[in-house]
Structures are given as structure tokens and as C-alpha cells.
Amino acid sequence: MSLPGLELTQPSEERHHAAAPPSQINLPPGSEWRFEVAFGHSIKVKLLTGTAELFGTELAESQTYTFCGTKSAIYTWYGCELEVSAGETNTATLDGVTPTAGHGAGGCQSEYVAEETPMVEYANAHFALETMRDETQDSGKDGPRVLLLGPENAGKTTVAKILTAYATKVGRQPIAVNLDPSEGMLSVPGTLTAAAFRTMLDIEEGWGSSPMSGPSSVPVKLPLVYSYPHPSPLDADGSVYRPIVSRLALSVTGRMAEDEDSRETGIIVDTPGILSSGKPGTLEIINHIVTEFAITTIIVLGSERLYSDMVKQYDNKPSSSASADAFDERISVVKLSKSGGCVDRDAAFLKTTREYQIKSYFFGTSVISPSPNTVTLSPHTSQLDFAALSVYNYTVTSADDEEEDEYDPSQLSMGDSFGAGDNYNPAESDRATPLPGIVGLSVDPASASNHTGSSSIPLKKALPPAPQALANTLLAITHAPTTATPAQVRDASIIGFLYVASVEPEKGKIHVLAPVGGRVPQRAMIWAKRWPDEVIGLLNDLVGFIVTLSAATVAEKRSPPKPLTFGWQRVQLLGAFFNGVLLFGLGISVFLQSIERFISLQEVQNSKLVLIMGSVGFGLNVISVLFFHDHDHDHDHDHDHGNEHEQDSVSGLDSSSHDNSEEASHMRDSATVDLVEQKVCAISGILT
Ligand SMILES: Nc1ncnc2c1ncn2[C@@H]1O[C@H](COP(=O)(O)OP(=O)(O)OP(=O)(O)O)[C@@H](O)[C@H]1O
């Protein structure tokens, strides 16, 4: 909307694309350059001289890094010079966000140099942890287990990244754990993850990428993912969150027991800001995490009150580790300053970030800004019979939203958690033993039994007809078999995700987008009905993006030519064979002509036959090449062909291959082919 005379119109395309000239930024030692870039616009940053790091990960000199939709900072210990220039402005990236280039260097919305930073404190925290790690080598005890607490936007994730990056830089292998379902670490939002970091983090991508994101210049990390499709840990009074945290802690402890490097280095746990809000139930969840991960160091950021509470509750108390008594292992509570650079991210920015995480899971990082370092992926569409799927849905009440789902415990089978063959014991898994010496946080046994009883796992199987609400949401494919009990489904780790593009209840079909081709694994799935929020028209939004990419990215990346289908390969091989015969025949013919007078006429006739055969071969080869291009072109635009492609992907690979994540990643790598053709094909398939 515009007001006449005030020129409050939408910024023009020209203004979007007006590239600011490259700026040079000189950073004195111990300072940082803070910058904010809007979604849809990108900036390019190059380190010209000196050394610099982004949240602990060092920038390479003369390498161009592209940033888009980010609020970040580049710090230097010894001083450096940066060159900042405008990148591309992509108008077809993300829905609901108008790409705007700001007035800062390179089109940043905001950018400035800050000389007061808490980086020395953070580095000291790292060296203190290093001292503890060194002690583990001699004594045999486990490395430090660090818990980061603080309100929202206090910089917890940033400190987790810095401590992880510094640890990997000195050759350690920390296990980073993300317990914040509102943002995914190496995964989509709505998950709790853990990953062992042996190699550097990704400057542009934050934590980096997993093998499911395709090839990457930075070594990929393999995360362990559990589904928690709720925005807050307090949903259902933590009765869903706590068992999943226990499960994750069990896996992390198991890894530490088997991996000497991880055991020595320890773990770094990032938490959601709501745990530090003082709301009812938050202290119980903090206690659960401290107990399950046998935390030894609690770092509090940006809240004096929380720090004081934590000191009272935990400081100098023995940790819950089995070896705590033997080594006299005690918890220490530490306060670190919140960086002045921490910015509040509004709801729209966070929503767009989540959308980007989901889109990039399926389409690659180039979905946000095509650049040489981004990856373009090619997901597959398929049509599934809903009745053949085993889809589970959490039927719980949100902390913020009282009217919710059809939670009716009577509908949940009593045998679900204690059924034959199910050895799950909620008393063990859901409740952590309170820390010795810690009082005041024990949970009321009545309320505990409310959530640990056999009928309390609020997971219900979604029965046909397929609910319309499935559209535009994610399905998490678990490792649990389709016959698993709700407890097993909840406790199972995740293989991958499907995006439900549309639902046809009358036909009992759903159209899904999968990161890899082939048959969808026959496993139990968890429907992310509540969280992450709907991503409307994931496919439709991308049509414009694909067109843009066809000109920019595909040409730039010079992707390898699409391999021929087997039938056309045979035609071309035949043509090549005839070509060979032609050349050979030509040679023979010339030879025979030259000695014609010495041999019989019949042989000369034969040489002419060879010549004709060769000509036919040449013609066939030319036709096959021409036809291949025609076919390729048709493939892009023909709806029917899209349907054939869809059928192929449904009846393709056996599901067992999906169990192995490395295999899946390999499949994913091989699926990184010409985007334009495959995407249009996928879209034509999904729209019909
Ligand atoms: N020194 C800094 N300069 C510029 N931006 C920063 C700095 N430190 C953190 N930020 C940015 O501030 C925002 C909030 O930081 P961060 O995500 O680390 O907070 P958090 O406590 O983990 O938040 P939440 O609890 O909401 O997940 C992020 O976008 C982060 O990149």
C-alpha cells in the first residue's frame, strides 16, 4: 500500500539490485565486526589480511564467504582487514519476506565494529575446560559435560559453537547436543540432536551440514536425531520432552564409553531459552538434563537470577556420573557475560529461518542464495497409500495453547507401553534419579505417575482417511518398525523426513517429497503436526527459484551432463559401433579402390556394402543424439512424463537401503544432479 505524495511504495526492483561498491573494513586487535543480512539478500566477505574467526571458526584468507539471512559477527584476536561486497538479491527465495538490501557495507541491514566483546571470557572458559580434559587423560575419568543456560537470545548457541569450534581446533572431539526444538542443529526444527565434531564448523552454515545435505566443502557431521514435534519442552508438562532427553543422553553416554576421544573431550549441551524463564516446570527439566547428562559445568549467560538459583541448587554438589564418588567429581556453576552483539530475533525472522532449514533439507542450501559454496539437491516426489503407512501423532496440550487436540487417554491402548515384548520401563526412562544432595526439585509422585503410566504416552496412530491437516507438514521416519508400540516409536531415532505436499482423502493417497528416490521405508512415522509450523507450498514457491537458478547456478556450477537412460545409451552405442565400421570400411574401401585392378570386382562391391553400413551407423548416431535432446526437452515440460517419473520413484529401491545413513547419504550425493530438469519434473508430478 502506498500513500500519495509520500513515496511510501514498495522499493523498486532497481533499488533491490543496486549493488553497493565493495567496502574494506579494518578491525583492530580484539574487536569484532557485527552484521545483519536480510533473507533474500546476500553479502560476500573476504579476509584480505590478518586472521579472523566467526564464532570460533577461522576464516581462510582470500576465500569468499556468502552470508544471507543471518545476524553474526567476525572477531579478530590480532587485527585484520575484510572486504565486504554485495551478493545477489534473490526475489524468489522465501515467501512473505521482501528481500531488502540495507544501507550498510555490501547491503547489510546493520553493521558496525564493536571493541567490547566477551571473547576473552569465552576463550578462558575454553582453556578451563581444556585443563579438565587434560586431567581426564591421567585419571581415566570422563571429560567435562557442559550445560549452557540463559534466557532467549542470550548467546547460548553462539557460545556452544565457540566452545565446540575451539575444541576441534586443538584436535579434540566434543559431542554437541541441541535440546532446543525451536531451531535444528544439523537437522530440521522440531528435533533434538547430538553430533560428534571432529572437524571444523561451517562458516556460512553455522553448525555445518549433515550427509543428507549432499556434498560439502566442509566435512559433514553425522547427527543422531530424535523427533520432538513441539515448540516448547514444557508442552505436556515435559512428559514427552524428558523421555526423549533421557534417550539422547543414553546414546551420548554410550558413544562416550566407546569413543576415547569423545570421552576425554566431553559434551556441550545447548538448551532452549524458555528453560531459564522461571516458569513452573522449568527447574524440573533442568534437573532432569543435569542428571541425565551427568553435567559437571553449568554456564549461565545473561541472567543473574538464574545464576544465583543454579549456584544454590548445584554448585559444588556431586555430579550424577557413576564415577562421581570415585573421582570426587563436583558440579561447578560459572557465569559468562552476554555479548552486546546478541540480537533479538523477531518471530518473522525465526519463522523464516525455520522455513529455510526445512527447504534446504530438501532442496539444498542454494535455496536461499545461489553461491559457489552452496549445494543444490534434487528431491523426489511420490504418491503413498496412507492406509499402508504407520503414522503416529502426539496428542498433547501445548504450554501456550490450552485448547488442543483430541487427547483422550482412554483411546490409547493399555498394552501400548507394557504390551507383550515391550520391555520399556517408563519409571526408568522417563524419570531420572534426582541428583544426590539436591533438594526441592523432586517431582510430585502423583504428577509423575500421571505421565509415566502405561496409558500416558500421548502418541496415537492416525487412521484412514488421511487427515487434511497432514498437508504442508513433515513426517519423521523413525527406525521403529510399523508394529512398534508408542513407547518404541517415541524412543526411536530418525532416519529422515518427508514433506507432505497434498492429501487426497477420498483416494486415500498422500503426495510426499522425499530427499532421496526409491521406496519410502516401511517404518513407523511421527507426524510433526504442531511443530515445525506449516511450510505452505514448499514446491510451488520454488518454481521462480528454479527459473532463476537455471540461468545463474546451473551454468556457474557446470553440472555434469545428465546421464543417458539405458535405452538411449544402447542406441548411441550402436551408432558408435556403426561409426567405427564406417571408418574401418572407408579405409578398406580406399585401399581396395587403389588395388582394384589386382583383385576381383566382387570384393570392391563388398567394400561398398561396408561403406553403406557405416553411413547408416553415422546417421543413427546423429539421430540418437538429436532425439536425446528432444526427449530431454520433453521430459522437462511434459506432465505425463512427470507421472511416469513419479511411478518410478514409488516402485524403486528397497526400503532396507534407507536404514544405513551412510548409504542414504551416498544416494543423496548421487541425487545431486541437474536441478532444473528434476525439479520441474517433480513439480509436474506433484501438481497432477
Ligand atoms: N557477538 C555477536 N555479534 C552479532 N550477533 C551475535 C553475536 N552473538 C550472537 N549473535 C546473534 O544473536 C542471535 C542470538 O544468539 P544465540 O542464538 O546464540 O542466542 P540463544 O541464547 O541461543 O537464543 P535462543 O535461546 O533463542 O536459541 C543469533 O542470531 C546470533 O547469531
Distance of alpha carbon 136 from alpha carbon 141, whole angstroms: 5
* Assigned C-alpha cell, 136: 581426564
Q: How far is the CA of 360 from the centre of ligand 1 (A)?
A: 21
Q: From the alpha carbon of 273, which atom of ligand 1 is closest?
A: 25
Helix (H, G, I), strand (E, B) or coil at 220: coil
* Rg value, the chain, Cα: 30
Query: Which residue has its alpha carbon closest to ligand 1 atom 11?
Result: 342
Query: Which residue has its alpha carbon closest to ligand 1 atom 14?
Result: 153
Average pLDDT over residues 180-190: 90
Does 189 sit behind a cis peptide bond, omega within 30 degrees of 0 on the bond before it?
no
Distance of alpha carbon 501 from alpha carbon 73, whole angstroms: 37
Query: Which residue has its alpha carbon closest to ligand 1 atom 2?
Result: 341
Task: For ligand 1, pick from 162, 178, 268, 343 the residue to mutate: most ligand atoms within 8 Å of CB.
Answer: 343
Find out whether 466 and 508 touch, Cβ atoms under 8 Å: yes
| Neighbouring residues of 654: CB distance < 8 A, sequence distance ≥ 6 | 518, 519
Whether pLDDT at 490 is above 50: yes
Find out whether 367 and 358 touch, Cβ atoms under 8 Å: no
Q: Which domains does the chain have, with CATH numbers?
A: 16-117 (2.60.120.1030), 119-336 (3.40.50.300), 380-535 (2.40.30.330), 543-687 (no CATH)
Distance of alpha carbon 131 from alpha carbon 116, whole angstroms: 26
The residue to which cell 543435569 is assigned: 290
pLDDT value of residue 356: 85
Which residues have any ligand 1 atom within 6 Å of their CB? 34, 71-73, 150, 152-158, 180, 183, 272-273, 339, 341-343, 345
Q: What is the pLDDT of residues 499-515, one digit of tens each?
A: 998 899 888 899 998 88
- Hey, which residues does 385 pair with through a beta bridge? 509
pLDDT value of residue 580: 72
Query: Which residue has its alpha carbon closest to ligand 1 atom 29?
Result: 71
Give ∠ CA 407-412-416 in degrees, rounded to 5: 140
Return the higher-pLDDT residue of 337 and 624.
337
Q: From the alpha carbon of 302, which atom of ligand 1 is closest?
A: 21
Confidence of residue 296 (pLDDT cuts 50, 70, 90): very high
Q: From the alpha carbon of 183, which atom of ligand 1 is closest?
A: 27
Confidence of residue 72 (pLDDT cuts 50, 70, 90): very high
Q: From the alpha carbon of 70, which atom of ligand 1 is closest?
A: 29
Q: How far is the CA of 213 from the centre of ligand 1 (A)?
A: 24
Q: What is the pLDDT of residues 617-643, one digit of tens each?
A: 677 666 655 554 434 333 333 333 333
Q: What is the pLDDT of residues 349-374, one digit of tens each?
A: 888 888 888 888 888 876 666 566 66
Find out whether 320 and 294 touch, Cβ atoms under 8 Å: yes
Query: Which residue has its alpha carbon closest to ligand 1 atom 1?
Result: 341
Q: How far is the CA of 9 from the centre of ligand 1 (A)?
A: 32
- pTM for the model stands at 0.72
Distance of alpha carbon 576 from alpha carbon 570, whole angstroms: 10
DSSP 137-165: HHH-PPPPEEEEE-STTSSHHHHHHHHHH
Q: How far is the CA of 345 from the centre of ligand 1 (A)?
A: 8
Distance of alpha carbon 628 from alpha carbon 437, whole angstroms: 75
ipTM: 0.98
Q: What is the pLDDT of residues 560-575, one digit of tens each?
A: 434 444 455 666 677 6
Does 532 sit behind a cis peptide bond, omega within 30 degrees of 0 on the bond before it?
yes
Task: For ligand 1, pick from 121, 147, 153 the residue to mutate: most ligand atoms within 8 Å of CB.
Answer: 153
DSSP 538-595: TTTTHHHHHHHHHHTHHHHHTPPPPPPPHHHHHHHHHHHHHHHHHHHHHHHHHHHHHT
The residue to which cell 583492530 is assigned: 28
Q: Which burial class, exposed, middle or buried, applies to 58 when counting CB atoms under 10 A from its CB (0-12, 13-18, 19+)?
A: middle
pLDDT value of residue 107: 82
- The helix-helix angle for 675-687 and 542-551 (nearest 10°) equals 160
Q: Which burial class, exposed, middle or buried, applies to 411 when counting CB atoms under 10 A from its CB (0-12, 13-18, 19+)?
A: exposed
Q: Which of 128, 123, 157 is nearest to 301 (CA)?
A: 157
Q: How far is the CA of 152 from the centre of ligand 1 (A)?
A: 9
